[in-house]
Structure 1
């Protein structure tokens, strides 16, 4: 599995696996990052791709001192399962 890339031009975190691209779309609003949508192609579902993508995106947000608004249900569920991330909620 490759590394997660922050494509700032498209406002998406990206992870490519076996030629398929998973994305976590976001919007920056001051010191807050709003995750709006996560998409993992069916061909690579069930392999932890979405979790790896969101973990890297949240690590990046923490490193940058951003608060997180998880509008996307997948991001919200991930944060619910990982209480160590809840201090980032904005």
Structure 2
């Protein structure tokens, strides 16, 4: 089995998708409003949990937000925790988010 995780931004569906061996393993949903990427939900399929897929999704979304000059509103508890563990992303959090 191919253990390579790939993450893409499915702009049409407003979500990042992580695939493992061609299967959809997890998603991170988002909307962009007034220069802020709102990140309400991250989910990983139960059979793929524990492989760092949520972290890969979080990193992709946060890196893309930085590149696009966006702030983020980490409504998803997983994303908020990821930012706490990775302080290099704290500057992206929108005031009051």
Higher alpha-carbon Rg: 2
CA RMSD of aligned residues (A): 1.0
TM-score scaled to structure 1, two decimals?
0.94
Structure 1: give runs of 5+ residues left out of the alignment: none
Distance, in Å, in 1 between the alignment partners of 2:30 and 2:79 is 11
SS for the counterpart of 1:4 is: strand
Moved more, 10-19 or 33-42: 10-19
Count of residues paired in the alignment: 90
2:55 corresponds to 1:48: no
Counterpart residue number, 2:30: 26
Runs of 4+ in 1 over 2 A off after TM superposition: none
Residue 69 of structure 1: how far off its partner (Å): 0.3
